[in-house]
Structure 1
Amino acid sequence: MAQPQQSDGTQSPTSPAGSPGRDRPPLRVGMVGYAFMGAAHSQGWRTAGRVFDLPRRPELAVICGRDGAAVRAAADRHGWAAAVTDWREMVERDDVDLVDICTPGDSHAEIALAALAAGKHVLCEKPLANTVAEAEAMVRAAREAEARGQVAMVGFNYRRVPATTLARRMVAEGRLGTLRHVRVTYLQDWLVDPAFPLTWRLRKEQAGSGSLGDLGAHIVDLAQYLAGEHLAGVSALTETFVRERPLPAGAVTGLSAGTAAARTGTVTVDDAALFTGRFTSGALASFEATRYATGRKNALRIELNGERGSLSFDLERLNELWYHDGTEPGEHAGFRRILVTEPEHPYLDAWWPPGHGLGYEHTFVHQARDLVHAVAEGHSPEPSFADGLQVQRVLAAVEESAEKNSVYTPVAL
């Protein structure tokens, strides 16, 4: 939606008269979780109504976490009106319209089911759940809630990068023709040090899986979203490189920090996942997700090749999309950079003048924008819980395939 012009001719990031939609009915948000992802979601909710002309005004009503002092500090830091330590209390509050779930995967299903039963709209971080059965239950509840006017969305924020949204538009327009190949990598290195402690992300009972659920969920969803079709089958390998890690200080009741640090626990998730796949159209795909790519911090790359053209995106250059038009004459054909900062590009009519790039945090602003519209207009948001279930089924198929391919016998040279 176009924004009012300032005296210098640039776009204003606020709504008319400098008011962030004060005349609009509120959408009161309650959020469970306040760490990294909670901070990102807070930024999205806090900013969306100040940038976009929304049909309802997001209000940061209450934030929830188990540590009372920490959650109160998070409320002050991020602008939440209240802080509580019991999510069950929060989902029953009359001043909460939407519950935003930013917790480890083992609690997603329980919180989402309770929130939907309490009549709330729901946003749940990815992956939707830790198991297919949990995800199926969440989809059933979301469909029942939809009949009551509620909406439920899973948080795959990389769909909200303007460049990836533009890529989806170009694929849907037929710019690539019949799809042949999709290749995706998501590389991080924060587990390379074997002394890194055994956090919840390394425990299957809490995280569900390792790099597969943490990073693989993102790239499976992004590949299916951009391709406009689902994966029909996979063949996989996974590996855990460091199988024992130090317990974090305080993890063992009664032990001092020094003693606890000397104790170790077993890593029960994968460190890396490699798999190939085939889309329903027959297009081939390859995926790599790892937290052991030394030197790579958040390197997500995806390329799609079709009979008529190709698209390539790199998250580390997220204001750019590379496009090759295979129908052009060979003497001047090649990949060209599209700088995705024009007001005609997705989401960007509300932001800055062309050439002024956006960042990672803006994907959460766009996510909040889209969800507010879905709530106000009564339509099913994307990605839906059903989309999250589809990704969960792919992750489960990857784990099943990896188990079958797990036999490894080193060959002496």
Structure 2
Amino acid sequence: MTTPARSDQTPSPTTHPKSVPLGVAAIGYAFMGKAHSNAWRNVASFFNVPAFEQKVLVGRDASAVAEAAAKYGWAESATDWRSVIERDDIHIIDVCAPGWMHAEIAIAALEAGKHVLVEKPLANTLAEAELMTAAAAEARARGVQSMIGFNYRRVPALALARELIAEGRLGTIRHVRAAYLQDWLSDAESPMSWRLRRETAGSGALGDIASHAIDQIQYLTGQTALEASGMLKTFVTERPGPGGPEAVTVDDAVWATFWLTGDLGASVEASRVATGQKNSLKIEVYGTAGSLMFDLENLNELQFLDATAPVREQGFRRILVNEPEHPYLEAWWPQGHIIGWEHTFTHQIRDFLTAIAAGESPSPSFEDGLQVQRVLDAVETSAKNKSTITAVEHNSLIAEGA
């Protein structure tokens, strides 16, 4: 595929006029590439966002990525992400590739003056995450924005939960429980994939899904992890590969406890072998004046208990988060017409584009992603050493930009 010639007259992100659509390239076309493509394709139909164009979808298999590009609404496809980053008609790079590619792609894109969205977790290692965050900070000074894709921040029910907590409806938060449970690896004969190799995935359930739970605990409460202890377990140590059995080098499940600023305790459990659980992120927040409960498998609902009511009237009540007054929902359907998991990515793209247009830093930032990466690193270190990691003992737990 021919790469357009560069032009010195193409505006940089710091001077990009609103009359010129932002050119978007997505790197990766599998699970996350499909989810992000759906969001790019639909966001302008429901939200007022800056003009943009789905320019290029990038993948290693020329035939497969061309087919995906045509299906997902991209104008063209490519196999060389480096040449795409060099193009003057590309202003945004959406990184949906596996974690081992995040650092190289994101840093190159930021240095080239492209706004960058990266799927979680930020990187496979703490060292890579630190390099990415430094590059993001340097680029931000030039008006180049970056964001990490913790899409569950854009679940309307969880955004409402954050509002209720910030308003003081739960009083002083005492402790939080989060459990992210899946079962897609319960069968020992499930085949080997890049997600089960440390060199490509970084970690297993820890980085893949526990990262969401950790981010939610800190996002909802506004508090930062200071101390962590954890356990990791690989239940199925070998899985069928193309050439025979292969060793699984990441965890199947993780258990962790945390102490956060604000004298707040929290626990996280994550598993990809929890038989019968498909995609259940359960979050419970307990305060002196009330409590909240959420389950991703009931994405449109939030359970709220008002402990200031008379005891004879207390009990969890169901809030159907579908009203126009609820976060993000003014753009969607009439009351009671539920939305789905895919809408969180649409909300994410809306917020990313809006921040770019305003010249503001999107949230969550790479600094937020780095902070989560530090917690992941602390849990892994704790599990390995059978110890508790504190901010004093383990510098990686001190938040930056949180």
Question: Is TM more than 0.5 here?
Answer: yes
**3-state SS, counterpart of residue 227 of structure 2:** strand
Please point out which of 182, 185, 190 is paired with 1:188: 182
SS where residue 220 of structure 2 aligns?
Answer: helix
TM-superposition CA deviations, 1:345-391 (whole Å, max 9, x none): 00011111110010000000000000000100011111000000000
RMSD after superposition: 1.1
Deviations, residues 268-315 of structure 1 (Å, cap 9, x unaligned): 100100011111112111110000100111011001001111111110
Structure 2 residue 259 is the aligned partner of structure 1 residue 264: no
Corresponding residue number in structure 1 for 2:129: 135
- The alpha-carbon distance between structure 1 residues 25 and 329, as it changes in their structure 2 partners (threshold 3 A), is farther
Q: Give the AA of the match of 2:119.
A: E
Q: Which residue number in structure 2 is paired with residue 95 of structure 1?
A: 89
Q: 3-state SS of the aligned residue for 2:308? A: coil
Q: Aligned to 2:341, what secondary structure does the other structure show?
A: coil
Matched, 1:51 2:32: no
Q: Encode CA deviations 1:238-284: one digit per residue, 9 max, x unaligned.
A: 10011111113xxxxxxxxxxx2xx1111110010001111111211
Structure 1 unaligned regions, length at least 5: 1-22, 249-259, 407-413
Instruction: Give the whole-Å Cα distance in 2 for the aligned partners of 1:90 and 1:224.
Output: 35
Count of matched residue positions in the alignment of Structure 1 and Structure 2 = 370
User: In the alignment, does 2:46 pair up with 1:42?
Assistant: no
The answer on whether the counterparts of 1:45 and 1:58 sit within 8 Å (CA) in structure 2 is no
Q: Contact conserved, 1:122 with 1:151, CA < 8 A, in 2?
A: yes
Aligned match of 2:293: 312
For 1:247 and 1:279, locate their aligned partners in 2 and report how far apart those are by CA, in whole Å.
Answer: 41
- The partner residue of 1:72 within 35, 47, 66 is 66
CA distance in 1, matches of 2:59, 2:204: 23
Q: Partner of 2:323 in structure 1?
A: 342
User: 1:25 & 1:374 partners in 2: Cα distance?
Assistant: 17
| Pair 1:245 & 2:239 matched | yes
* Partner residue in 2 for 1:3: none
SS in 2 for 1:344: coil
Distance 1:59 1:159 in 2: 25
Aligned with residue 155 of structure 1, among 149, 152, 163: 149
Q: How does 1:95-244 map to 2 (within 5 A)?
A: 95-244=89-238
Give 3-state SS (helix, strand or coil) of 2:303's partner.
Answer: strand
Q: What is the distance in 2 between the residues matched to 1:337 and 1:163?
A: 11
Deviation at 1:58, TM superposition (A): 2.9
Instruction: Give the C-alpha shift of residue 228 in structure 1.
Output: 0.8
| Counterpart residue number, 1:405 | 386
Partner of 1:375: 356
Q: Structure 2: 5+ residue runs without aligned partners?
A: 1-17, 388-402
Q: More deviation in 381-390 or 187-196? A: 187-196
Report the identity percentage. 59
Work out which of the residue numbers 362, 368, 372 in structure 1 matches 2:343.
Answer: 362
The Cα shift of 1:28 comes to 1.4
Among 280, 289, 298, the residue aligned to 1:299: 280
Q: Distance in 1 between matches of 2:81 and 2:125?
A: 22
Mapped to 2, the partners of 1:354 and 1:194 lie a distance apart of 43
TM-score by length of 2: 0.91
Q: TM-score, normalised by structure 1?
A: 0.88
3-state DSSP class of the match of 2:24? strand
User: Are the aligned partners of 1:339 and 1:355 in contact in 2 as well (CA < 8 Å)?
Assistant: yes
